[in-house]
């Protein structure tokens, strides 16, 4: 008599969101559909390397949060924005050369 493997509800949900590369290739439409309806889908190769397929809206939201809107905004939000820096230096007029 074979023993049944007992899995928790969490394990069952994770298994629905994890795909072996070959299965994901063969059933890409299903992976795509689940990424849209159920959330991120993990695709693994030999149970080590992984990529995650997410909705485009979620990707945009996550990637937008890391970078400021512009370089000007980045410098304005910097902790050094209020520091008074002076960049004075001596004028350099070159040197005299005999030709």
Give the CA distances from residue 77 to residues 7, 37, 68, in Å, rounded to whole numbers and listed in that order. Answer: 48, 37, 9
> 73 pLDDT exceeds 50?
yes
CA distance 95 to 69: 45
Could you tell me the residue ranges of all domains in the chain?
9-77
> 3 pLDDT exceeds 80?
no
pLDDT higher for 58 or 1?
58
Instruction: Give the largest CA-CA distance in the chain.
Output: 101
pLDDT for res 66: 64
Percent of the chain with pLDDT over 90: 37
> 9 pLDDT exceeds 90?
no
CATH topology of domain 9-77: YefM-like fold (3.40.1620)
> 82 pLDDT exceeds 80?
yes
Q: Does the model's pTM come out above 0.75?
A: no
């Amino acid at each position: 008599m074979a023993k049944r493997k007992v899995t928790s509800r969490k394990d069952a949900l994770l298994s629905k969101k994890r795909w072996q590369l070959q299965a994901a290739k063969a059933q890409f439409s299903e992976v795509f559909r689940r990424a849209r309806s159920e959330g991120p889908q993990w695709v693994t190769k030999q149970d080590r390397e992984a990529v995650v397929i997410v909705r485009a809206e979620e990707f945009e939201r996550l990637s937008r949060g890391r970078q400021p809107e512009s370089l000007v905004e980045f410098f304005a939000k910097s902790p050094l924005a209020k520091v008074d820096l002076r960049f004075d230096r001596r004028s350099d007029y070159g040197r005299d050369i005999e030709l």
